[in-house]
């Protein structure tokens, strides 16, 4: 009964506010806007080349070919869209979910889940099911949409449906993993605003450190590094990266479960003192 009440509470808080639609808009907007923007830029470059505006510049042919490769390759555009989904979209989602991910604990009415008759497990489980699942579904569908649009708009570097499907799945797993880690740290600290900044900047710094140490395989961030570009190049070999992808997905799920257990343990250990040194009445 408490589980049902917990899901009902989270669903009302999620669906009857802008949060639910905010997550949808925050993912699908990039899936639609990025390919269309690059398609428009490619069309503009085509019209410029027709007027021979590059003719007076040294190395004009190389510049034109480079620009057309950047803005006319379906794989490159799809990778750029995935980069936005794995970065900017997640930032928007973190800002939207600040209240249920720690912000509500600062309000006196919900500082302790037991005040509403909920045990900590029944308070946390709906959050860890509803929000990561929503992010996973939205991320998966938006990535599929972006891949389809890229193949429709661009003739060079088109990707097979299998690669698009796998890339969308990897992107969705990474997004759900990222949000789960964010939820855990924010709920444990009750500082979602600060954690949003730390997570957004921290993942970029960690990725740079891992790349500099050549530690790019067999961890959850492998999923991100592959889908933002490497996976959609002509020289990508899926068989050489299959083991790394599987390990990355499995570790993402395992770490997400461990973060739930950690958050449950931390919240259970918190002691709330409602006594006042000087009574108000």
Q: Is 235 helix (H, G, I), strand (E, B) or coil?
A: coil
Residues 237-270 pLDDT 10s: 888 899 999 999 999 999 999 999 999 998 888 7
User: Quick one: CA torsion of 95, 30, 205, 67, rounded to 10 degrees?
Assistant: -150
Mean pLDDT across the chain: 83
Q: Is 73 helix (H, G, I), strand (E, B) or coil?
A: strand
Residue 281 has pLDDT above 70, yes or no: no
Distances in Å between the Cα of 213 and the Cα atoms of 66, 87, 209 are 30, 22, 6
DSSP string, 95-115: HHTTTTTTGGGGSGGGSSGGG
| Stronger pLDDT, 104 or 192, i.e. the higher one | 192
Kindly report the backbone phi and psi dihedral angles of residue 156, in degrees, each rounded to the nearest multiple of 5, phi listed first.
-90, 145
What is the model's pLDDT at position 109? 44
Number of neighbours of residue 51 by Cβ within 10 angstroms: 8
Among the residue ranges 7-21, 41-55, 120-134, 250-264, the one predicted with the least confidence is 41-55
What is the model's pTM? Answer: 0.86
Q: Is 17 helix (H, G, I), strand (E, B) or coil?
A: coil
What is the model's pLDDT at position 278? 59
Among the residue ranges 105-114, 142-151, 175-184, 250-259, the one predicted with the least confidence is 105-114
Residues 151-171 pLDDT 10s: 998 888 888 999 999 999 999
Answer whether 27's CB lies under 8 Å from 176's CB. Answer: no
Region 186-197: mean pLDDT is 90
């Amino acid at each position: 009964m408490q589980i049902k009440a917990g899901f009902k509470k989270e669903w009302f808080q999620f669906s009857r506010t802008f949060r639910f639609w905010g997550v949808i808009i925050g993912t699908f907007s990039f899936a639609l806007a990025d390919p269309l923007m690059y398609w428009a830029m490619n069309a503009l470059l085509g019209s410029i080349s027709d007027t021979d505006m590059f003719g007076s510049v040294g190395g004009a042919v190389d510049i034109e070919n480079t620009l057309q490769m950047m803005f006319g390759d379906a794989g490159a555009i799809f990778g750029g869209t995935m980069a936005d989904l794995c970065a900017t979209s997640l930032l928007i989602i973190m800002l939207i979910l600040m209240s249920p991910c720690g912000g509500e604990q600062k309000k006196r009415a919900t500082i302790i889940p037991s005040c509403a008759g909920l045990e900590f497990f029944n308070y946390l489980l709906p959050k860890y099911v509803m929000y990561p699942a929503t992010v996973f579904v939205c991320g998966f569908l938006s990535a599929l949409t972006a891949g389809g649009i890229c193949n429709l708009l661009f003739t060079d570097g088109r990707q097979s449906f299998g690669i698009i499907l796998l890339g969308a799945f990897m992107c969705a797993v990474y997004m759900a993993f990222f949000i789960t880690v964010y939820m855990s740290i924010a709920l444990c600290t009750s500082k979602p605003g600060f954690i949003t900044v730390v997570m957004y900047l921290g993942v970029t710094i960690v990725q740079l450190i891992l790349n500099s140490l050549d530690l790019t395989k067999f961890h959850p961030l492998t999923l991100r590094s592959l889908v933002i570009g490497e996976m959609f190049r002509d020289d990508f070999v899926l068989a050489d990266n299959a083991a790394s992808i599987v390990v990355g997905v499995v570790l993402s799920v395992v770490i997400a479960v461990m973060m739930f257990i950690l958050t449950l343990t931390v919240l259970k250990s918190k002691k709330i003192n409602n006594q006042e040194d000087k009574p108000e009445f």
